[in-house]
Amino acid sequence: MLHIICRIIGLSKICLRPSVSATCVRLSSCGSTGPKEATLIENDNILMTEEEKRLRNALETTITVPTCVDLTPVSGFPEEFLRTRRVRIYQPSKNVMQSGTNNLGHWVLEFDNRQRWENPLMGWTSTGDPLSCMKLMFTSPQEAIDHCDKNGWMWYIDVPRTEREFKAKSYALNFSWNKRTRASTK
């Protein structure tokens, strides 16, 4: 019966999903906007008990810790790395080989470099430092600072240079007739 009503109204492409709903189509009170789909109620939500719903809602929410937590005892870093290393927080510059500006505006956290040596077999550069290639990206410098404080790392911010003022240029200015560009023919 519902399929016949849907075909008459012109909703032949609606597929009926296995869910609990009073009707597949309801008409608006005005009638001018046309048919609208009824809200679907998932079978899982109907079959769950109140305690299962509360448990599912608790698992889907995030856990917030109100205080600043020190992760140095459980971070796994050796003590010498924590005491002697500094972390640089900087905003990387735009790649000069590309004109896009999509991947700009983030802040990068990286450790200072330790001793490197040349591998005698292949000539590759080697290092015994597991943190030399670790770079973490953050949306703001405050997030990076909070991460460093939480892990007990010494940090410093490498402030980016201020951007130069953009001066509009036009090819037509090369041919303008004013005192700035006019050249004497004498």
pLDDT the model gives residue 14? 47
Would you give the DSSP letter of residue 171? Answer: G
Rounded to an integer, the average pLDDT of 19-31 is: 48
Same domain, yes or no: 105 and 144? yes
86-90 and 154-158 as β-strands: parallel, antiparallel, unpaired? parallel
Summarize pLDDT for 51-108 with one digit per residue, the tens.
Answer: 888 888 888 887 776 677 777 777 777 777 777 788 999 998 888 888 777 878 899 9
Whether the predicted model's global pTM rises above the 0.75 cut: no
The reply to whether 13 and 81 lie within a common domain is no
Q: Are residues 99 and 138 in the same domain?
A: yes
Q: What is the CATH number of the domain that holds 109?
A: 3.30.160
Percent of the chain residues past pLDDT 70, beyond the cut: 76
Task: Tell me, yes or no, whether 125 lies in a domain.
Answer: yes
- Domain-located, residue 148: yes
Q: Quick: pLDDT tens for 123-139.
A: 888 887 777 888 999 99
Q: Is residue 176 part of a domain?
A: no
Question: What does the pLDDT average to over 28-52?
Answer: 71
DSSP 102: T
Boundaries of domain holding 34: 1-42
What is the percent of the chain where pLDDT is above 90? 14
Task: Check whether 151 has a pLDDT greater than 90.
Answer: no
Q: Is 171 domain-assigned?
A: no
- How many domains does one find in the chain? 2
The C-alpha atoms of residue 147 and residue 182 are separated, in whole angstroms, by 58
89 three-class SS: strand
Structure-model confidence comparison of residues 149 and 164, the more confident one: 149
Give the residue with greater pLDDT, 83 vs 148.
Answer: 148
In whole angstroms, what is the distance from residue 107 CA to residue 90 CA?
6
**Residues 6+ positions from 106 with CB-CB distance below 8 Å:** 91, 92, 137, 138, 139
Instruction: Count the helices and strands in the chain (H runs, E runs).
Output: 5, 8
Say yes or no: 32 and 78 in one domain. Answer: no
Question: Rounded distance, CA 89 to CA 6, Å?
Answer: 60
Residue 87 is predicted with a pLDDT of 92
For residues 81 and 143, state if they share a domain. yes
